[in-house]
């Protein structure tokens, strides 16, 4: 397979740095362009990271440190003409994000987005590759709307839902009715470190703006169907959520409660579904795909974020503490690495799938 030329929009932020980290030695993708806001433009990456916090504490890569940062708005045409696609990890308001991503798509440059702005658009696929790759079919409808031949937008889901939706997805055939989920989210999910967010030390904040709304609606799109040229939300499942910011660096966890239309008594059947889940993309040999997507831990005090967040190079989902519940039918915990599986790594896997299926 030829190397695809890649651009990163928002390259100097936390997720942008994670993209650089994960793409440094990628077998399919080669970084050709780094772009950010006008504040970083016309400087080298080395210069930008010398005065801007190097959030992930990663070294300035030898291959990239002399790259000149382009202006992601002013230099759009140049960027679009020199890459096969871009990863978008910008940090601006939703309306501006929607307009920017669509403008790149209309320049015939596919956009794989880490942002929330376009996630609920009816013809933009929001894909977890192991779960709903069939939603990529909506891209052809989207291209007709945009009047493009190659340009389109595809997005990854919210970082927190990726720590529990995969575990729930493998149980859908048991006819899930109600879900209650409480998420416990690392400070890196806010683009922060303890160095620049000292108030999070020894603290818990019971509010993350917009997070509960995303937690309650995004899974319904993941579990939706394409009908009448739209992705229709799944209306058979009810979800309620509460989201907390907690004082850890990386890793999102969830306490999950599930009820079924008919009570499920065999917990071993559920564990077997997790451990033997056959991901749709399992045989495609995508470079970033985990060998084992879901893993159940039988120990009473596992999984733990510190030890399980790097499962499968950060792309695995860890599950544990499955029990019967007095109000719901079952309860369990699950977790994943929020800046890998939940952000840059999940977007890279989505891009690999798009390339494999010749959308790019």
Active site residues per annotation: 159, 252
What is the rounded CA–CA span in Å between residue 75 and residue 202? 43
Per-residue tokens: 178: 């109600």
The verdict on whether omega for the bond into residue 303 sits within 30 degrees of 0, i.e. cis, is yes
Write out the two tokens for 136. 């990529």
Q: Which two tokens stand for residue 359?
A: 């959308």
φ/ψ of residue 268, rounded to 5: -65, -30
Task: Give CA–CA dist 184/303, Å, rounded.
Answer: 14
Per the structure block, which two tokens stand in for 175? 């006819």
Give 123-157 as a DSSP string. TS-B--TTT-GGGGGGHHHHHHHHT-SS--EEE--
221: tokens are: 């799109």
Tokens of 242: 């509460």
Joined together, the tokens standing for residue 71 give 């202006």
Do residues 66 and 46 touch, judged by C-beta distance below 8 A? Answer: yes
Q: Say if CB 69 and CB 34 are below 8 A apart.
A: yes
SS3 of 41, please?
Answer: coil
252 DSSP 8-state letter: E
Instruction: Let me know: does 248 contact 203? Beta carbons within 8 Å.
Output: no
CA distances for 209 relative to 118, 218, 272, angstroms: 17, 15, 36
């Amino acid at each position: 397979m030829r190397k695809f030329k890649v651009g990163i929009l928002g390259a100097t932020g936390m997720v942008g740095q994670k993209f650089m980290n994960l793409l440094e030695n990628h077998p399919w993708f080669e970084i050709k362009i780094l772009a950010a806001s006008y504040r970083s433009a016309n400087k080298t990456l080395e210069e930008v990271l010398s005065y801007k916090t190097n959030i992930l504490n990663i070294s300035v890569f030898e291959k990239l440190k002399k790259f000149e940062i382009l202006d992601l708005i002013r230099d759009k045409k140049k960027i679009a003409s020199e890459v096969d696609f871009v990863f978008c990890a910008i940090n601006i308001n939703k309306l501006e994000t929607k307009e920017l991503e669509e403008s790149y798509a209309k320049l015939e440059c596919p956009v794989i987005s880490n942002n929330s702005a376009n996630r609920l658009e009816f013809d933009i696929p929001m894909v977890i590759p192991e779960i709903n790759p069939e939603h990529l079919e909506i891209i052809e409808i989207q291209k007709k709307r945009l009047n493009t031949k190659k340009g389109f937008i595809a997005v990854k889901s919210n970082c927190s839902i990726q720590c529990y939706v995969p575990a729930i997805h493998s149980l859908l055939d048991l006819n899930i009715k109600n879900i209650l989920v409480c998420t416990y989210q690392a400070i890196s999910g806010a683009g922060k470190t303890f160095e620049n967010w000292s108030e999070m030390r020894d603290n818990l904040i019971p509010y993350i703006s917009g997070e509960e709304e995303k937690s309650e609606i995004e899974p319904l799109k993941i579990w939706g169907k394409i009908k009448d040229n739209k992705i229709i939300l799944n209306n058979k499942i009810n979800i309620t959520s509460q989201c907390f910011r907690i004082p850890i660096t990386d890793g999102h966890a969830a306490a999950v409660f599930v009820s079924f239309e008919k009570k499920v008594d065999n917990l071993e059947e559920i564990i077997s579904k997790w451990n033997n889940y056959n991901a749709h993309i399992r045989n495609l040999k995508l470079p970033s795909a985990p060998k084992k997507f879901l893993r159940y831990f039988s120990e009473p005090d596992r999984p733990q974020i510190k030890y399980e967040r790097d499962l499968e190079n950060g792309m695995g989902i860890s599950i544990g503490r499955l029990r019967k519940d007095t109000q719901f039918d079952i309860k369990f915990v699950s977790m994943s690495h929020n800046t890998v599986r939940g952000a840059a790594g999940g977007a890279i896997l989505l891009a690999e799938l798009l390339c494999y299926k010749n959308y790019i």
